[in-house]
């Protein structure tokens, strides 16, 4: 991120303005008024929100900011699960549905707030019984079943730090994350179910913990009945076996505001993923506030976020935010195209979903399938629809607004990151929307587009997306790599550099263009080029590899790898398939290259760094830019 980024925007004036009732009925009211109220008294703003929640001990100060380190709700004591569960059970939501889960072939499970609290408590007691304590790391590698959410909340109940790993990762990726975190316990399921097929998870996990000495127990949620997977004595525990005989009450661990709540690995520009650490109070307040205000969630709404809890979107907007608000959350393990591409719209009709939150890659896939699929179903229950994960391009915006939102629902295109923990930029409900633009900073956040010196760029100009003041749900460090944390705040003087390129439009609307670094967003998943390269190089036939992202009309980007073979290996289809299989097994199916090209040489700087930028320009037939550092 050292070069200036020179883009001039030719702006369209297209605006979509939702009906006046949206603003009139919203929690926020008028955006500008709310934003100015925040600017006039930032601490007072967050103080008022935090007071809506339950605390064991209140804070001495809303924040303490010693650049680049923040403490929020200083010295407060709390437990996030007391807010996600007990607060509702104590008040009027005891019988309200918290989780409404649907599996394939009609399987349905319903948890009221009371039932969820009891199940979480029993599992938390089970974890305590096998010796899990506050501060211990627990790795959760599970499909999208209620047990995944129960496991997360149970960890939070007893102060154990969960590290959820998306179940689409392979052995090496999982092993690395378990070892990095020194997880004491791993929680998994025997299988996940996708498109009518059982996908085994257990073998991946068993292999991943072979050389992970920190792991004392493996807890398995056994879904397959005939025959059930075997539980090996002592070391392995059955998920429900662990809960058996456990009391359905579990005193929540008293957490300091700054005690870690969870860590979550995200791809970086090196081969090692970054363990993003979030703490208790600020994360709770930030996700509670944004869930309530950005989705404008009302008491009777049924809310559906299609993400997997294995990613930050699931942590913040399936689990912690919505449950802190007391929402009814619909969760499904079903894929968008099975048994047919109408399934999601059918679910919206059946469940009468009011607020729907998905990703551009899914929207573009549906766009390709045609409007006849959503048109078969009654989507009138929808009130607000959202998007996250990558830029929502204007064509996809227009389609989503019309085919799903029926020209009525506001779209909240939310820009944020694993690191930010909560929504940072969007167009708040009721405000005019501009296709291609995520919007403006959420009240509570100061966002801007800056040049490499940190100066605000004039309207119509491109630059780096930056956050100019701390916010409650900000990550506090990178696990065991605080230097990496500081880098986010030191790359551009005085601001948090998000790593994204953006353009500032008229009226302060921000258009996010994509990553400024070596991270490729494929179907909404962050993939580090270095991680794929090191997976390729770990194959015995590969000497060197370079990976780039290529624009893809549905996935956003696809992965192309350039590979130099070791002497004695012949390029060909068979080897290509071998390499693809190898990456699938090590990193997982989400990181598999879509294209591999065997080459004799890679463009490098004189100091030996691969110039992916040059490869990409050549591949796309574009100008490679400055190549003065390129070796002969």
Among the residue ranges 135-143, 333-341, 496-504, 551-559, the one whose residues contact ligand PRX (CB under 6 A): 496-504
Please work out the total of residues on this chain that contact ligand PRX, with binding judged by CB under 6 A: 21
Instruction: Closer to ligand PRX by CB, 229 or 392: give it.
Output: 392
Query: Looking only at residues 301 through 320 of this chain, which bind ligand PRX when binding is defined by CB under 6 A?
Result: 312-313
For the bound state, the minimum distance from the C-beta of residue 436 to ligand PRX, rounded and expressed in Å, comes to 10
CB of residue 367 to ligand PRX, shortest distance in Å:
17
Quick one: tokens of 221?
Answer: 């949620």
Min CB(587)–ligand PRX separation in Å: 15
Question: Which residue stretches of 64-201 are H helix?
Answer: 80-81, 87-90, 113-129, 146-158, 171-181
> Which residue in the set 390, 431, 531, 533 belongs to the binding site for ligand PRX (CB under 6 A)?
390
Q: Which is nearer to ligand PRX, 185 or 294 (CB)?
A: 294
Cα torsion angle, 78, 81, 84, 88, sign: negative
Q: Which residue is nearest to ligand PRX (CB)?
A: 418
Is residue 505 close enough to count as binding ligand PRX by CB under 6 A? Answer: no
Residue 415 near ligand PRX by CB under 6 A: yes
If one asks whether residue 354 binds ligand PRX (CB under 6 A), the answer comes out as: no
Name which of 470 and 499 has its Cβ closer to ligand PRX. Answer: 499
Q: For residue 289, which of 60, 444, 115 has the smallest C-alpha distance?
A: 444
Q: Is 445 in the site for ligand PRX (CB under 6 A)?
A: no
| Binder of ligand PRX out of 521, 542, 559, 610 (CB under 6 A) | 521
Residue 491 binding ligand PRX, by CB under 6 A: no
> Residue from 277, 446, 512, 611 that binds ligand PRX (CB under 6 A)?
512
Q: Give the number of other Cβ atoms within 10 Å of residue 226's Cβ.
A: 4
By CB under 6 A, residue 498 contacts ligand PRX: yes
Whether residue 33 contacts residue 428, with contact meaning beta carbons closer than 8 Å, is answered with no
Q: In what order do the strands lie in the sheet with 137-141?
A: 236-238, 217-221, 185-189, 137-141, 161-164, 260-266, 274-279, 477-478
- Closest contact distance (angstroms) between CB of 478 and ligand PRX is 13
Query: Which one of 55-63, 135-143, 410-418, 562-570 is the stretch in contact with ligand PRX (CB under 6 A)?
Result: 410-418
13 CB-near residues (< 8 Å, 6+ apart): none
Q: Is 169 in the site for ligand PRX (CB under 6 A)?
A: no
Which range of residues in 49-57, 149-157, 443-451, 493-501 is near ligand PRX by CB under 6 A?
A: 493-501
391 binds ligand PRX per the rule CB under 6 A: yes
The position carrying tokens 């009391």 is 247
Query: Quick one: 463 or 499, whose CB is closer to ligand PRX?
Result: 499
What's the closest the beta carbon of residue 223 comes to ligand PRX, in angstroms? 28
Do 392 and 358 touch, CB atoms closer than 8 A? Answer: no
Does the footprint of ligand PRX cover residue 291 (CB under 6 A)? no
Residue 307 is given by DSSP the state S
Nearest approach in angstroms of CB 574 to ligand PRX is: 34
Q: Minimum distance from CB of 560 to ligand PRX (Å)? A: 19
CB of 267 to ligand PRX, least distance (A): 8
From residue 359 to residue 388, what is the string marking binding to ligand PRX with x (rule CB under 6 A)? -----------------------------x
What stretch of H or E contains 208?
A: helix 202-208
Q: How far is the CB of 317 from ligand PRX (least distance, A)?
A: 9
C-alpha 388/C-alpha 588 separation (Å) is: 22
Quick one: which H or E segment has residue 197?
strand 197-200
Number of helical (H) and strand (E) elements in the chain, helices listed first: 21, 32
Cβ atoms of 400 and 411 within 8 Å: the answer is yes
Rounded-to-integer distance, Cα 403 and Cα 379, Å: 9
Binding segment (CB under 6 A) for ligand PRX, from list 162-170, 389-397, 539-547, 611-619: 389-397
Task: Output the smallest distance, CB 464 to ligand PRX, in A.
Answer: 11
Cβ at position 121, least distance to ligand PRX in Å? 30
603 φ/ψ angles, rounded to the nearest 5 degrees = -70, 130
C-beta closer to ligand PRX: residue 121 or 266: 266
- Minimum distance of ligand PRX from residue 144's CB (angstroms): 16
CA atoms of 462 and 501, how far apart (whole Å): 7
Separation between Cα atoms, residue 142 and residue 149, nearest integer Å: 9
What is the Cα–Cα distance from 3 to 347, expressed in whole angstroms? 47
Cβ distance to ligand PRX smaller for residue 137 or 515: 515
Q: Which is nearer to ligand PRX, 112 or 426 (CB)?
A: 426
Q: Is 163 in the site for ligand PRX (CB under 6 A)?
A: no
DSSP 9-50: -------B---HHHHHTSSS--HHHHHHHHHH-HHHHHHHHH
Least gap, CB of 411 to ligand PRX (angstroms): 10
Instruction: Reduce the secondary structure of 420-484 to three states and give it as a string.
Output: CCCCCEECCCCCCECCCCCEEECCCCCEEEECCCCCECCCCEEEEEEECCCCCCCCCEECCCHHH
Rounded CA-CA distance 613/310 in Å is 31
Give me the least distance between CB of 586 and ligand PRX, in Å please.
20
Q: Which is nearer to ligand PRX, 461 or 569 (CB)?
A: 461
**Shortest Cβ distance from residue 605 to ligand PRX (Å)?**
25
Kind and range of the H or E run holding 188: strand 185-189
Among 172, 306, 354, 418, binds ligand PRX (CB under 6 A): 418
Asked if residue 287 binds ligand PRX (CB under 6 A), the reply is no
Q: Is 417 in the site for ligand PRX (CB under 6 A)?
A: yes
Q: Name which of residues 87 to 146 contact ligand PRX (CB under 6 A).
A: none
- Residue 441 makes contact with ligand PRX by CB under 6 A: no
Note whether 160 binds ligand PRX by CB under 6 A: no
Cα 437 from Cα 299, distance rounded (Å): 29
Backbone angles phi, psi at 392, to 5 degrees: -90, 100
Beta strands per DSSP E along 519-612 = 519-522, 525-528, 542-552, 556-565, 595-598
Is residue 262 involved in binding ligand PRX (CB under 6 A)? no
The residues binding ligand PRX (CB under 6 A) are 266, 312-313, 388-391, 413-418, 438, 498-500, 512, 515, 521, 526
């Amino acid at each position: 991120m050292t070069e200036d980024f020179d883009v001039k925007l030719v702006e369209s004036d297209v605006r979509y303005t939702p009906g006046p009732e949206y603003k009139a009925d919203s929690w926020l009211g008028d955006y500008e008024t709310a934003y100015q109220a925040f600017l006039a008294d930032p601490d007072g703003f967050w103080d008022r929100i935090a007071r809506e929640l339950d605390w064991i001990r209140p804070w001495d100060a809303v924040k303490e900011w010693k650049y680049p380190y923040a403490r929020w709700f200083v010295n407060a004591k709390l437990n996030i699960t007391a807010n996600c569960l007990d607060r509702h059970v104590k008040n009027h939501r005891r019988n309200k549905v918290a989780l409404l889960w649907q599996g394939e072939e009609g399987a349905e499970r319903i948890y009221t707030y009371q039932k969820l609290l009891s199940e979480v408590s029993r599992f938390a007691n089970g974890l305590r019984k096998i010796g899990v304590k506050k501060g211990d790391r627990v790795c959760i590698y599970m499909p999208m079943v209620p047990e995944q959410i129960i496991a997360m909340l149970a960890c939070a109940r007893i102060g154990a730090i969960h590290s959820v790993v998306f179940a689409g990762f392979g052995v090496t990726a999982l092993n690395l994350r378990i070892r990095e975190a020194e997880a004491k316990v791993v929680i998994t399921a025997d299988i996940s179910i996708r498109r009518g097929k059982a996908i085994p998870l257990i073998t991946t996990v068993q292999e991943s913990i072979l050389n992970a000495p920190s792991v004392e127990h493996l807890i398995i949620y056994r879904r397959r009945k005939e025959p059930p997977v075997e539980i090996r004595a002592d070391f392995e525990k059955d998920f429900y076996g662990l809960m058996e005989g456990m009391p359905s009450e579990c005193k929540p661990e008293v957490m300091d505001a700054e005690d870690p709540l969870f860590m979550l690995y995200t791809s970086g520009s090196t081969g090692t993923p970054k363990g993003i650490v979030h703490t208790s109070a600020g994360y709770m307040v930030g996700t509670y506030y944004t869930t309530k205000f950005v989705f404008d969630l009302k008491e009777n709404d049924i809310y559906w976020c299609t993400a997997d809890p294995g990613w930050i979107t699931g942590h913040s907007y399936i689990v912690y935010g919505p449950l802190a608000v007391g929402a009814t959350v619909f969760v499904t393990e079903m894929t968008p195209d099975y048994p047919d591409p109408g399934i999601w719209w059918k679910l919206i009709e059946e469940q009468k979903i009011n607020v729907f939150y998905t990703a551009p890659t899914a929207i573009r896939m549906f766009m390709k399938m045609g409007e006849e699929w959503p048109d078969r179903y009654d989507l009138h229950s929808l009130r607000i629809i959202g998007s996250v994960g990558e830029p929502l391009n204007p064509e996809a915006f227009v389609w989503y607004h019309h085919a799903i939102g029926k020209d009525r629902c506001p779209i909240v295109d939310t820009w944020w990151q694993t690191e930010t923990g909560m929504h940072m930029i969007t167009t708040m409900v009721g405000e005019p929307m501009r296709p291609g633009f995520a919007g403006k900073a959420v009240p509570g956040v100061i966002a801007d587009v800056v040049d490499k010196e940190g100066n605000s760029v004039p309207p119509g100009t491109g630059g780096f997306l930056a956050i100019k003041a701390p916010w409650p749900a900000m990550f506090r460090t990178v696990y065991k790599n605080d230097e990496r944390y500081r880098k986010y705040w030191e790359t551009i003087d005085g601001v948090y550099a998000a790593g994204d390129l953006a353009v500032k439009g008229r009226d302060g609307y921000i258009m996010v263009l994509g990553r400024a670094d070596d991270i490729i967003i494929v179907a909404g998943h962050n993939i580090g080029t270095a991680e794929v390269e090191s997976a390729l190089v770990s194959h015995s036939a590969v000497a060197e590899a370079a990976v780039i992202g290529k624009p893809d009309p549905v996935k956003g980007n696809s992965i192309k790898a350039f590979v130099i073979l070791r002497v004695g290996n012949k390029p060909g289809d068979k080897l290509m398939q071998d390499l693809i299989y190898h990456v699938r097994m090590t990193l997982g199916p989400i990181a598999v290259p879509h294209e591999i090209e065997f080459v004799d040489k890679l463009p490098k700087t004189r100091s030996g760094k691969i110039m992916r930028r040059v490869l990409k320009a050549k591949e796309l037939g574009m100008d490679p830019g400055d190549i003065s550092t390129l070796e002969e």
